[in-house]
Structure 1
Amino acid sequence: MSLMNPLSMFDVKGKVAVITGASGAFGMVAARVLAGAGCRLVLAAGNASALAEIAGECRAGGAEVHEANVRPDTEAACEGLIASAVEAFGACDILVVASGMNTVAKIDEMAPDTFLSVMDANVTQSWLMARAATRQMKAQGTGGKIVLVSSARGLLGHPAGYTAYCASKAAVDGITKALGCELGPTGITVNAIAPTVFRSPLTAWMFGEDDNARTVRAGFLARVPKGRLGEPEDLAGPLLFLSSKASDFYTGHILYADGGYTAG
């Protein structure tokens, strides 16, 4: 590949991308970015109306889209989702696992079932989707890209009842590193994007101008060298990089999209 044509390394046109949690904040970013880059999409989400909305937006931009109103919460669902990509488009080249959840509660107030539900959504489902995609990518024999979603909280703790979330994202980091080692010889890369707070429906209040938002934001920004909260476009570049040939020599990495938050 000629270095005189570096943009070709980021070309994913025609690739088949499966995105779970496509109606969520990160999933919608992934759908828009990969649709805009020319991928054929399999979008999966449990919220049928929100799924139809993002799928319609991607189709309006010219993308081929297959909708799957399913959560990756069982082995059969995960295997079926990859099978639907093969049935619709003949392959699975890129997997983005953007599904997950968080429940905030102090440890002495959190039920064990709640802890396990967060671990299942963030860890087990990531593992099951990676397993299903790996099988298909190996069968294709042309490599592939697996992108998991971690968080700065996989590296750092949090005082406000995040034991389940921090533990789950640390486990996602472990899966990423282990699979990066395991799958290296196959041409399948496995990496994770780990954002800090970025603009989404769930965090919109932090971008507000009321006293509470200002106070919380100021405390947070004291730790962010870039001096601002994240925007959806801050996730776009890392995602395209990790989904393309540009990242062929990168695997087992946690890419922190955090404005320097974890650096200091």
Structure 2
Amino acid sequence: MNALMNPLSMFDVSGKVALITGASGAFGMVAARILGGAGCKLVLAAGNESALDEIAEECRASGFEVTTVNTRPTDEQACSALIEQAVKAYGRLDILVVASGMNKVALINDMEPETFTAVMDANVTQSWLLSRAAAGQMKAQGDGGKIVMVSSARGLLGHPAGYTAYCASKAAVDGMTKALGCELGPTGITVNAIAPTVFRSPLTAWMFDDTDKARAVREGFLARVPKGRLGEPEDLAGPLLFLASNASDFYTGHILYADGGYTAG
């Protein structure tokens, strides 16, 4: 009853410890701003040191409490070390956001098998290893936790322009999210995924430009988006805060599409 009378309290994550991998990437930077702004203590991890320092300084300038780890979750040891760094810095881990990953675009007969394997490793294996390490820590703490994967609308839908590795990897992330949601549910740990479509970032900024090429690509894409626009970083704030907070305690194994209705039609 208290939560119903004060529903905003369910979204309170102030003081929670959040580890964000891929913190120098498009989604990772957005996640840092959202969770830091909501009062989380941040552990930001990325392999690009200069970009990591840049987002960390931005967060500190906004008054957020931040620790950085200049590493990628490349193997079991690196993933375990990331969790240990979070615990060393703040004593525990409450939220894991897996925003690390990669994409390589090539038609199937132009893509080397090693490239396909690299995409699957970065997006699937590393997500599994991070979840494994985080779940162990959260179980030891005994009071649950939140694991948020970053998937994509391409986990559900194909793409004609050389996305076999990426689509396959994100479909695997979706399956892993569902399986881990089932497995870890009894422990109080929820596992969910946010699956965006195109949203504004340094990588997609060109699609928002007023050029003939950008307009043609944008108009073709928007023909399938009921909301009639591309995504903005702010569109990810509500879904992430929901999945990282107690408001989503009864939700696990769920793929939340932040796509303006793109996958609905």
User: For the superposition of Structure 1 and Structure 2, which TM-score range results when normalised by the shorter chain?
Assistant: over 0.9
1:141 — aligned with what?
142
1:224 — aligned with what?
225
2:49 — aligned with what?
48
Instruction: State the alpha-carbon separation in 2 of the partners of residues 116 and 213 from structure 1.
Output: 31
Asked if 1:63 corresponds to 2:64, the answer is yes
Shift of 1:4: 1.3
Deviation readout 1:180-199 (Å, 9 max, x if unpaired): 00001000000000000000
2:62 partner letter: G
1:84 partner letter: Q
1:252 — aligned with what?
253
Shift of 1:57: 1.1
**What number of residue pairs does the alignment pair up?**
264
User: SS of the counterpart of 1:3?
Assistant: helix
1:203 — aligned with what?
204
Instruction: State the alpha-carbon separation in 2 of the partners of residues 69 and 133 from structure 1.
Output: 18
1:162 partner letter: Y
Instruction: State the alpha-carbon separation in 2 of the partners of residues 207 and 133 from structure 1.
Output: 37
1:262 partner letter: T
Matches within 5 A, 1:9-48: 9-48=10-49
User: SS of the counterpart of 1:12?
Assistant: coil
User: SS of the counterpart of 2:14?
Assistant: coil
Deviation readout 1:31-61 (Å, 9 max, x if unpaired): 0011111100100000111101111111111
User: SS of the counterpart of 1:2?
Assistant: helix
User: SS of the counterpart of 1:190?
Assistant: strand
Deviation readout 1:222-258 (Å, 9 max, x if unpaired): 0000000000000111000000000000000000000
User: SS of the counterpart of 2:5?
Assistant: coil
2:151 — aligned with what?
150
Structure 1 residues without counterparts, runs of 5 or longer: none
Matches within 5 A, 1:157-176: 157-176=158-177
Deviation readout 1:149-200 (Å, 9 max, x if unpaired): 0000000000000000000000000000000000010000000000000001
Percent identity between matched residues is 81
Structure 2 residues without counterparts, runs of 5 or longer: none
Deviation readout 1:202-224 (Å, 9 max, x if unpaired): 11111111111111111100000
Instruction: State the alpha-carbon separation in 1 of the partners of residues 3 and 21 from structure 2.
Output: 34
User: SS of the counterpart of 1:109?
Assistant: coil
Deviation readout 1:49-81 (Å, 9 max, x if unpaired): 110111111111111111000000111000000
Instruction: State the alpha-carbon separation in 1 of the partners of residues 159 and 214 from structure 2.
Output: 18
1:100 partner letter: G
Instruction: State the alpha-carbon separation in 1 of the partners of residues 37 and 213 from structure 2.
Output: 37
Instruction: State the alpha-carbon separation in 1 of the partners of residues 110 and 20 from structure 2.
Output: 34
1:8 — aligned with what?
9
Asked if 1:188 corresponds to 2:210, the answer is no
1:106 — aligned with what?
107
User: SS of the counterpart of 1:95?
Assistant: strand
Deviation readout 1:102-145 (Å, 9 max, x if unpaired): 00000000000000000011001110100000000000001000
2:108 partner letter: I
1:97 partner letter: V
2:115 partner letter: T
2:13 partner letter: V
After TM superposition, what 4+ stretches of structure 1 lie above 2 angstroms from structure 2? none
1:79 — aligned with what?
80
Instruction: State the alpha-carbon separation in 1 of the partners of residues 35 and 244 from structure 2.
Output: 9
User: SS of the counterpart of 1:107?
Assistant: coil
1:121 — aligned with what?
122
Instruction: State the alpha-carbon separation in 1 of the partners of residues 143 and 64 from structure 2.
Output: 23
